[in-house]
Amino acid sequence: MTQNRYYIWLILMNSLINIIIFVPRELIDGRFTGTQAAIPLAVLSGTLITFMFTAVIRKFPGKGVPEIFAASLPKFTVPPLLVIFGLLWCTAGLITLLSFVDITLRFISPDTRPLIVLLSFLVVVCFSVRMEPLSLLYGLEMMLAISLPLIVYATFKAVVNPAFSWDAVLQTFTYSLHTPNWNSFLAATFSFSGYINMAIFNRLFHQLKLKPLHIVIVAVQGFIILLLSFLVPIGYFGTIGVGKHIYTWFSTADSIRIETFLIERMLFIFYMAYLPLSLVSVVIHWHVGKELLLALFPVPKKRKSSSVRLWQEGFILAAFCAAAFSLMHLDQYELNQFGVIFLDVRWYGEVALLLLLLYCYAVKRRRAL
């Protein structure tokens, strides 16, 4: 039986990866127009939707969304729905991948050709995407064990640094009475979107049990990470200067010096913490997208099942890679705009998936009567 902690790891992964997918940038854009009020609202909404989705999908133990849709929805509606949701998951991984390629080129190795960096990441991702889902959860747990202490250390060093301006942070809170900014709200809810990967990983959870402690953990970690993602860059660059940076957290890490360590620049530690975490995030998202799109193909006969399935997976991954190469020309501002559009569309997609699962559960109950 898959342990419940892996469910928490999926949510924590998304919360930590939000700095790669432009959530802090969107929160900072609304610093004068309601981000402060949007964050608590996003925590409440995100926690509620997380546990509504989980409570519904628990009613289908050992089944993923393709199996649930096939059993409950009209046949002609299933393929387009799987394509739409599969492309959403592909886009989530794509933005993380392209953003980290851009971060690598700007902060770590500006002389390296972008194609080489992208190819290096794609080799790792495509090899890992085909692994068994349980192995991916094991890998996620290992990467969190490696990355999380480094991220906590970097955050602690940032907050206690003499260059951190608490006056700028306090000035930000003077705008707390503004009406919640809708774009900031949509971006902030991404920190809770890790639950949506249960669309496929629910196949491993046959007895998922949620306790009040799980609700508290999800809400608290999301609230803390969102506050830090929003406030720490402001503490370094000020309420005005922070608007000039796209990758605000990597710019912040590049501003911190470590005086008592072998590596003087915090940037390298921060980069090494987020490198495995970003790649695992891409692998998880593309694995879910791949499994959703695989359900469009007919089940191969047993004699040729392995070879046919391999070709089907290869076709889907080739399409994902082609999308990555086609968008490689985007600069950081265009990539940021692409990420903002995704953050907005993603929330509506998650709500739609929740409503569809509620309908499927209603159909299941009606048939059981």
pLDDT tens digit string along 210-242?
788 888 999 999 999 999 999 999 999 999 988
State the pLDDT at residue 333: 87
Of the listed ranges 134-148, 165-179, 214-228, 260-274, the one predicted with least confidence: 260-274
Task: Write out pLDDT tens, residues 100-146.
Answer: 999 999 888 888 899 999 999 999 999 999 999 999 999 999 999 99
Helix, strand, coil content of the chain in percent (nearest 5): 80, 0, 20
State the pLDDT at residue 300: 66
* C-alpha R_g of the chain: 21
Mean pLDDT score of the chain, rounded to an integer?
A: 90
State the pLDDT at residue 261: 67
pLDDT band at 305 (very low <50, low <70, confident <90, very high): low
168 in Cβ contact with 234 (< 8 Å) = yes
Q: Is the dihedral of CA 143, 203, 83, 355 positive or negative?
A: negative
State the pLDDT at residue 184: 93
Architecture of domain 5-368: Up-down Bundle (1.20)
289 in Cβ contact with 93 (< 8 Å) = yes
Task: Give the global pTM.
Answer: 0.93
State the pLDDT at residue 303: 55
Alpha carbon distance 163, 237 (integer Å): 9
Alpha carbon distance 21, 256 (integer Å): 22
pLDDT band at 302 (very low <50, low <70, confident <90, very high): low
